[in-house]
Amino acid sequence: MKIAVGFDHAGFPLKEIVLEAVRAAGHEPIDLGTHSADPVDYPDYAEKVGRAIQSGEAGRGILVCGSGIGACIAANKMKGVYASICHDTYSAAQGVRHDDMNVLCLGGRVIGPELAKALIAAFLGARYIGEDPGGERLARRVAKIQAMEK
């Protein structure tokens, strides 16, 4: 799967770690920037990642800003983008399995490289189970979220 990745200047120090973690999980990263530690605005990168998901260019996305919060708020303004900040592996996987989360947001000033790798592995290793037998309650909830977008 192609994974759109975006960073602001505060997330930039984790960039190579994130790109390598995506590759290590067997996926292809789409690097949407930033390409230096010069100050930039996180909403610009959240939009780039969101557009890649909306267009089908990417199946999922990863955003890294200073806290993860700003990128998460910005990404969730986009239809069809379901982003969450996760700093534990349970949430990174469970968000995909139960809530069809498609964007993982990380705080570059909050977590270190090893935790970033573990979170990305959990996120990319999970799949939505709402369409599986017994997943009707999950699908019902996700459908309610999708209806709210309209």
Extract the runs of DSSP E, i.e. beta strands, from 1-150: 2-7, 28-31, 60-65, 83-85, 103-107
Pairing of strands 28-31, 2-7: parallel
Given the residues 86, 87, 98, 105, select the one marked as catalytic.
98
| Tokens describing residue 5 | 């990745």
| Tokens describing residue 99 | 């809530």
Given the residues 65, 72, 86, 105, select the one marked as catalytic.
65
Terminal CA-CA length for the chain: 28
Give dist(CA 73, CA 38) in Å, integer: 22
65 catalytic per annotation: yes
105 catalytic per annotation: no
Q: Which residues are catalytic?
A: 65, 98
